[in-house]
Structure 1
Amino acid sequence: MEWQRRNRIASQTLALCIALMAASMETVECAGRSVHLPGGSAGSATRGGAVRQRTHTASLKDFGGVGDGITSNTKAFHAAVAHLAQFAGGGGGMLFVPAGRWLTGPFNLTNSFTLFLHRDAVILATQDMIEWPVIDPLPSYGRGRDHSGGRYSSLIGGSHLTDVVIAGDNGTIDGQGAFWWKNFHEGKLKYTRGYLIELMHSDQILISNLTLLNSPTWNIHPVYSSNIVISQITILAPVHSPNTDGINPDSSSHVRIEDCYIVSGDDCVAIKSGWDEYGIAVGMPSQHIIIQRLTCISPTSAVIALGSEMSGGIQDVRAEDITAIDSESGIRIKTAVGRGGYVKDIFVRGMNLNTMKWVFRMDGNYKSHPDNKYDPHAIPVIKGISYSNIIAKNVKQVASLHGIPNAPFTGICISNVTVQLAAKARKQTWTCTDVEGVSSGVTPAPCASFRDQGAGANPCPFPTGRFTY
């Protein structure tokens, strides 16, 4: 499609253009031609996927930054952002992080702002817990994910922002998570671990051309936000590191995730919208989300997960051109009585999977609750789920699909799916309870609750409309 072509071109040119801006060069070589970059161009740096020059650029070194991997740069980051915040209404500011290893505690961004990392720059999360402020839990969760009460701040954060870019010429943000994982496993943490990047109540966000390493827990967490592009991100963590989800849009809308490579100890992408009665009360769905050209390795979790915290609702998710190796499940829906909310209008096509426990998984009895105050009559609605054009090899079981008694998952469509079972596959290739739908051209054949429409029927829809970013 034309919009997809434009978006790919914008993503491919992002690193070059923004790097040149960071260097404050007026005339640059781009696509083999000399291009003049006019100074002082105003407006959003993220609108429509285009990136424009900020009016004011500063280097972290200008604020006393020392890139030796030992000296704390927390004060330097805070001072730099505070200085550039004054230009939010006049074309915005860019903070350039030069080559080096820049140790820091958490810091927040500001409006009309670009954080850009040189290709040899590494932002290192400090292991000095004194530098990690404790903040309130999210209203839609009612508590931290690891513990009741508060949570440690995210390394890079911000709230109520507009027009924010976090990018680099494949620069690195390293959470040094082993410290956090050890303390988590040993029960030594009083609060929930912070994320690498969390932007709240924000609009027009672009995160691109970075490598994220060893996050204490989730890597990228936009929450209560909109108009988000996450492109060409590499996320790496040990495959048994706890809860190191890759990208988790949460109560957010109009999100595009593309051309990302994720190796993690949890879901590569997990779409969420709040937890039980707290998510129901906030009532902010995650919706209008595109995931394309994603590659995932996660032996213990899903390539794409919907939930388990989905109490504000999840709808209109489109995923295509997905590759996974050595992962637990391709697509997983996680919910339970007490969640309320809904997961509906989910469209997935074009998956290439190799070495999986399951291709499809649905759990209507995922019992993790924040407390015992949840409403036992809050029954989630799961309907309108479409999977098509999927090839999978070396799979232990095609599907484990289990809805909720007296509230089945409905409108599930599976077509043009070929699964090659592993040498030691389970004898029962499909297990299904409280689910119903249709199928076409699926091998091995699905459960009887999926009415066969015939090999040539191709009944599963995929939207052709476009989102506006």
Structure 2
Amino acid sequence: MAPVLQNKLVTLCLFALLCFLSTAESTRKGASVAKPCRAHTANIKDFGAVGDGKTSNTAAFKKAVAELAKHEKKGGGMLVVPPGKWLTGPFNLTSHFTLFLDKGAVILASTDMKDYPLIAPLKSYGRGRDEPGPRYSNFIFGSNLTDVVITGNNGTIDGQGQMWWDKYHADQLKYTRGYLFELMYSDNILVSNVTFVNSPSWNLHPVYCKNVIFSGVTVLAPINSPNTDGIDPDSCTEVRIEDCYIVSGDDCIAIKSGWDEYGIAVAMPSQNISVRRLTCISPTSAVIALGSEMSGGIQNIRIEDITAINSESGIRIKSGVGRGGFVKNIFLRNMNLYTIKWLFWMTSNYGQHPDDKFDPKALPEVTGINYSNVYAENATMVARLDGLQNDHYKGICISNVTAKMIPSDLPLWNCTNVEGVANHVTPKPCDLLRDQGPSGKPCAFPKATLAIDKVPISQCPFKG
């Protein structure tokens, strides 16, 4: 399920005008909502960049983006990165802008820590995720942008994260590692046909964003690399993740919405998110995770047509005392798992807190959880479902599940403080999930389509 490489003389530059307000009307009329090509195109070599993998091109990338930003209101700008290895420090994007990586192009992140200034922590986290205080700059970043595209012919963005991982393991970092790509307070974003590798920490992190599409994206990290989540929508609305291939040292997809009292105060839920046709390898973590930072709430998530190989858990809900918030109206169907420890896992014991100011009375609401049509081979346990004693997880529905188990001393099911139903599930579900037997109905999956799923991605001819 990896992205298909386009071996043609004419490279297809994919991008969309993801304008939420016009999408529904344009779709009803049958008209394309995609913009034409950017009016202004430049090559990174035009700004003195050298693709030898050794020369620093930080100034060239910053100059190129600044020059193309002048065309924001005049048809936008596209920066082409041709084949070669283009070493650079962090740089910011601009609005109405396309970063195009041609086949054989590799953008290499600098490994000089002096190139990464400290930036403020996210308001919904109150501090850096690894350490208190500020955080190191992200590699590719932007804030308050609109109409931003990263695409190409499967070029690569390489975070060269080994240095960061080594320092993290040796406890030599005073501040939180930056992410390979982060956009804040932005809308109309498309990332397609690009490979991201070796991120220092989380790979792709849209936060406080809306109308975001990740299509045909590959994310690769060593399976023992720390916290290298694949794609983490965080306090985002209308997100589509499709046809992606992720190998990760952490969760392949992690949907988040802020941490404890800070996430509760910001109160920006992650909602209306579609994840489909995903292939994941994550031996120590989840294929799809909801949380653990979910204090602003997570709702209306559709997940379908998922394949995972050698992963720890199929879908995992992470929460705990002090988180508050909610996880509700979660719908999953058609998941195939090959070598898995838990198909389903709900965790209520996340005790990590940003500080001691969290409210111990802030308990998460977990309800409306629907899982159907799941097949697993070489599974250790079917489910580990742990609610809180004074805060049961309710409204759980699991249907049409077949798990082929490996010999193990562990119980097939472990259920505490949960309430729900099950039907057509093998092995037999735990007693807290009332078995409805042969007459039971499949778990719900919405018929209505999300607005973001209606947004087409059009093509623009571009000669590399």
TM-score by length of 2: 0.92
1:455 alignment partner, SS class: helix
Assess, with a 3 A threshold, how the Cα gap between structure 1 residues 65 and 141 changes in structure 2: closer, same or farther. same
Assess, with a 3 A threshold, how the Cα gap between structure 1 residues 377 and 460 changes in structure 2: closer, same or farther. same
Partner of 1:38: none
1:182 alignment partner, SS class: helix
- Structure 1 alignment gaps of length 5 or more: 1-10, 23-42
What is the letter of the counterpart of residue 429 of structure 2?
P
How far does the alpha carbon of each residue in 1:317-366 deviate from its partner, in whole angstroms, 9 at most, with x for none?
00000000100000000000100100000000000001011000001111
Instruction: Provide the C-alpha distance between the structure 2 equivalents of 1:277 and 1:18, rounded to a whole number of angstroms.
Output: 51
Contact 1:146 1:193 survives alignment (8 Å): yes
Contact 2:79 2:98 survives alignment (8 Å): yes
Partner of 2:447: 464
Instruction: Provide the C-alpha distance between the structure 2 equivalents of 1:119 and 1:293, rounded to a whole number of angstroms.
Output: 24
How far does the alpha carbon of each residue in 1:379-411 deviate from its partner, in whole angstroms, 9 at most, with x for none?
110000000000001011111100011110000
How far does the alpha carbon of each residue in 1:162-220 deviate from its partner, in whole angstroms, 9 at most, with x for none?
00001110000001111110011111111111111100000000001011111000000
Contact 1:294 1:322 survives alignment (8 Å): yes
Assess, with a 3 A threshold, how the Cα gap between structure 1 residues 351 and 173 changes in structure 2: closer, same or farther. same
- Larger mean CA deviation between 117-126 and 459-468 belongs to 459-468
How far does the alpha carbon of each residue in 1:98-133 deviate from its partner, in whole angstroms, 9 at most, with x for none?
110000111000010000001100000000111111
Instruction: Provide the C-alpha distance between the structure 1 equivalents of 2:107 and 2:228, rounded to a whole number of angstroms.
Output: 18
Partner of 1:293: 277
Contact 2:18 2:211 survives alignment (8 Å): no
**Structure 2 residue aligned with 1:374, among 354, 358, 379?**
358
Q: How far off is 1:153 after superposition?
A: 1.1
- The question of 1:112 aligning with 2:116 is answered no
1:350 alignment partner, SS class: strand
How far does the alpha carbon of each residue in 1:2-41 deviate from its partner, in whole angstroms, 9 at most, with x for none?
xxxxxxxxx989998993569xxxxxxxxxxxxxxxxxxx
Instruction: Provide the C-alpha distance between the structure 2 equivalents of 1:359 and 1:352, rounded to a whole number of angstroms.
Output: 10
How far does the alpha carbon of each residue in 1:396-440 deviate from its partner, in whole angstroms, 9 at most, with x for none?
111110001111000000000000001x32341000100010000
1:77 alignment partner, SS class: helix
Instruction: Provide the C-alpha distance between the structure 2 equivalents of 1:326 and 1:455, rounded to a whole number of angstroms.
Output: 31
Partner of 2:338: 354
Contact 2:135 2:178 survives alignment (8 Å): yes
Instruction: Provide the C-alpha distance between the structure 2 equivalents of 1:257 and 1:96, rounded to a whole number of angstroms.
Output: 24
- After superposition, the CA RMSD in angstroms is 1.9
1:216 alignment partner, SS class: coil
- Larger mean CA deviation between 187-196 and 429-438 belongs to 187-196
Partner of 2:418: 435
Assess, with a 3 A threshold, how the Cα gap between structure 1 residues 84 and 16 changes in structure 2: closer, same or farther. farther
1:281 alignment partner, SS class: helix
Assess, with a 3 A threshold, how the Cα gap between structure 1 residues 467 and 13 changes in structure 2: closer, same or farther. farther
Contact 1:54 1:93 survives alignment (8 Å): yes
What is the letter of the counterpart of residue 458 of structure 1?
K
What is the letter of the counterpart of residue 417 of structure 2?
D
Contact 2:372 2:442 survives alignment (8 Å): no
Alignment of 1:8-407 (within 5 A): 19=11, 45-47=17-19, 50=34, 52-407=36-391
Instruction: Provide the C-alpha distance between the structure 2 equivalents of 1:145 and 1:119, rounded to a whole number of angstroms.
Output: 34
Instruction: Provide the C-alpha distance between the structure 1 equivalents of 2:16 and 2:67, rounded to a whole number of angstroms.
Output: 19
Instruction: Provide the C-alpha distance between the structure 1 equivalents of 2:10 and 2:395, rounded to a whole number of angstroms.
Output: 45
Instruction: Provide the C-alpha distance between the structure 1 equivalents of 2:123 and 2:6, rounded to a whole number of angstroms.
Output: 35
Instruction: Provide the C-alpha distance between the structure 1 equivalents of 2:9 and 2:418, rounded to a whole number of angstroms.
Output: 49
**Structure 1 residue aligned with 2:431, among 424, 442, 448?**
448
Assess, with a 3 A threshold, how the Cα gap between structure 1 residues 14 and 290 changes in structure 2: closer, same or farther. farther
Assess, with a 3 A threshold, how the Cα gap between structure 1 residues 21 and 341 changes in structure 2: closer, same or farther. closer
What is the letter of the counterpart of residue 233 of structure 1?
V
TM-score by length of 1: 0.91
Q: Percent identity?
A: 62
Contact 1:302 1:332 survives alignment (8 Å): yes
Instruction: Provide the C-alpha distance between the structure 2 equivalents of 1:153 and 1:328, rounded to a whole number of angstroms.
Output: 31
Assess, with a 3 A threshold, how the Cα gap between structure 1 residues 148 and 90 changes in structure 2: closer, same or farther. same
Assess, with a 3 A threshold, how the Cα gap between structure 1 residues 44 and 207 changes in structure 2: closer, same or farther. closer
- Structure 2 alignment gaps of length 5 or more: 24-32, 453-464
Instruction: Provide the C-alpha distance between the structure 1 equivalents of 2:141 and 2:403, rounded to a whole number of angstroms.
Output: 42
Q: How far off is 1:224 after superposition?
A: 0.0
Instruction: Provide the C-alpha distance between the structure 2 equivalents of 1:18 and 1:65, rounded to a whole number of angstroms.
Output: 24
Q: How far off is 1:160 after superposition?
A: 0.2
Assess, with a 3 A threshold, how the Cα gap between structure 1 residues 130 and 427 changes in structure 2: closer, same or farther. closer
Instruction: Provide the C-alpha distance between the structure 1 equivalents of 2:322 and 2:239, rounded to a whole number of angstroms.
Output: 27
1:184 alignment partner, SS class: helix
Partner of 2:28: none
- Larger mean CA deviation between 168-177 and 452-461 belongs to 452-461
Partner of 1:25: none
How far does the alpha carbon of each residue in 1:257-291 deviate from its partner, in whole angstroms, 9 at most, with x for none?
00000001000000000000000000000000000
Contact 1:166 1:208 survives alignment (8 Å): yes
How far does the alpha carbon of each residue in 1:227-264 deviate from its partner, in whole angstroms, 9 at most, with x for none?
00001111111101000000000000100000000001
Contact 2:219 2:230 survives alignment (8 Å): yes
Contact 1:441 1:456 survives alignment (8 Å): no
Q: How far off is 1:459 after superposition?
A: 3.5
What is the letter of the counterpart of residue 414 of structure 2?
T
Instruction: Provide the C-alpha distance between the structure 2 equivalents of 1:456 and 1:208, rounded to a whole number of angstroms.
Output: 43
Assess, with a 3 A threshold, how the Cα gap between structure 1 residues 17 and 137 changes in structure 2: closer, same or farther. farther
State how many pairs are aligned. Answer: 439
* Structure with bigger RCO (C-alpha 8 Å, 6+ apart): 2
How far does the alpha carbon of each residue in 1:38-89 deviate from its partner, in whole angstroms, 9 at most, with x for none?
xxxxx96445673530000001011111100001111101000000001111
Contact 2:380 2:410 survives alignment (8 Å): no
